[in-house]
Amino acid sequence: MTDAVADFLSLVAGGPFSPVNDPYRIYRRLRDEQPVLQMAGRKRPTFVLSRHDDVREVLRDDELFSSRANARGTSLVMGRTIIEMDGAEHLRHRKLITPALAPRALRGDFPELVRRLAHAIVDDFPSGGVDLVPAFTFVYPLRVFVEILGLPADELKRFHEWAIALTLIQIEPEKALEASRQLREALLPIVQRKRSEPGDDLISSLAAAEVDGARMSDEEVVSFLRLLVSAGAETTFHLLGSALHVLIENPELQARVRADGALIEPLLWETLRWETPVAVLPREATADTKVAGVEIPEGADLMLLIGSACRDERHYRDPDRFDLERDNSDVLAFGLGKHYCAGSRLALLEARIGLEVLFERLGELRPAAGERSRILGFAFRGPVALHVARD
């Protein structure tokens, strides 16, 4: 066993939420020494892919590499959702879901709604310094979801707690499953009511969506809403937090972006590459095949290291450097092909507006005295604190 493999196994042993500081030195060695690493699994072998081209190949071929692997993880608490579906079933659900998630289809003037919510959150900041993670980056996407779902504003705290608990399925399964049950109890009556009394909210849109005469069942809508509240908020939460980390640590870059709002979009795309929020994706081989010359048997699991692929020096020049001018047209952070993230535009819009509001309301973002932010995590990566000074 090489040192790189041993180090990687130590990362995996901590679970998807282990507070890993810097996995990238290990990923670089994996890409060099063992880009398709076989590990023993409980019931089937697992192959870990770390190079950009190999990960891209697997993401593109949804027939040979199935998303049903998610059924053994996330779907245990979300229920059966689009992220574990393939083929015709996946296509039907995507046609039902994607139009409802388009920003133009969401409540009224959606960007102005999001901007108003962001300002309201900043209004509640304490005087003096503030930690932007609990005060803004975590609560902001949840607040948006509660609003577009048409739920009462006073439900935010409960949904906040449930969203956290759902992510704990690997380390606190009983707590995660209980949160899943409670979310179902809260959402199911609302979905049923929206079918007979539709409004201009996302639940009504999902309940009414129809493709070829078929609609989502109440349980399917509830399962997707659980996924949206947890995974959707998780992506925006970490994307926005990591972008703020970069800006706080690089005053000159922050000044450039403040002076030219058109730079926010490339900033967000480079953040997605440099610190991919959802850094690991699973797949399952549906037939015997090969990846980079390595035999992959039918039924084997594949662990796609998206975070490693986005730092692959074979594909990106000087990949550990944050480069606002980089061409990120092929970044894999939102997936690829038929399983490309349906909520990507929503996440980017929320993150952009969040940055614009913080720029407007807080002035220069400076680290509080004696505080430095760090980005942590294995499968999900983002800063755990962003202490900024306020004049």
Is 263:257 a contact under the CB 8 Å cutoff? yes
Q: What is the DSSP letter of 380?
A: B
Residue 104 scores a pLDDT above 70: no
- And the tokens for 166? 């759902």
User: What are residue 294's DSSP bridge partners?
Assistant: 291
Least confident of 98-102, 128-132, 175-179, 291-295: 98-102
| Type of residue numbered 257 | V
Residue 233 scores a pLDDT above 80: no
**Residue-averaged pLDDT of the chain:** 88
Mean pLDDT of all residues in 370-388: 90
H-helix or E-strand spanning residue 211 = none
More confident residue, 263 or 203: 263
More confident residue, 275 or 217: 275
CA distances from 60 to 28, 85, 257, 354 (A): 23, 15, 34, 32
Mean pLDDT of all residues in 12-22: 78
More confident residue, 106 or 242: 242
Q: Helical H runs in 139-297?
A: 139-148, 156-166, 173-196, 202-208, 218-227, 233-249, 251-259, 264-274
pLDDT in tens, 162-190: 877 887 777 788 888 998 899 899 889 98
Residue 108 scores a pLDDT above 70: no
Is 340:97 a contact under the CB 8 Å cutoff? no
| Type of residue numbered 307 | G
What pLDDT score does 121 carry?
95
Among 193, 233, 297, 258, CA closest to 78:
233
CB-count exposure of residue 3 (10 Å: 0-12, 13-18, 19+): exposed
- And the tokens for 73? 């993880």
Between strands 280-285 and 130-131, the pairing is unpaired
What pLDDT score does 366 carry?
93
Is 315:288 a contact under the CB 8 Å cutoff? no
Domain residue ranges in the chain: 3-389
What pLDDT score does 106 carry?
64
H-helix or E-strand spanning residue 68 = none
| Type of residue numbered 390 | R
Q: Given 3-state DSSP classes, what are the helix, strand and coil percentages for the chain, each rounded to the nearest 5?
A: 55, 10, 35
pLDDT tier, 10 (very low <50, low <70, confident <90, very high otherwise): confident
Hey, what CATH class is 3-389 in?
A: mainly alpha
Most confident listed range (76-85, 202-211, 345-354)? 345-354
- Within 10 Å of residue 164's Cβ, how many Cβ atoms? 17
What pLDDT score does 143 carry?
87
Residue 43 scores a pLDDT above 80: no
What pLDDT score does 70 carry?
80
pLDDT in tens, 344-359: 888 899 999 999 999 9
What pLDDT score does 147 carry?
84
DSSP 129-185: -EEHIIIIITHHHHHHHHHHTT--GGGHHHHHHHHHHHTTTTT-HHHHHHHHHHHHH
Q: How much of the chain, in percent, has pLDDT values that exceed 70?
A: 96
More confident residue, 42 or 50: 50
pLDDT tier, 214 (very low <50, low <70, confident <90, very high otherwise): confident
pLDDT tier, 135 (very low <50, low <70, confident <90, very high otherwise): very high
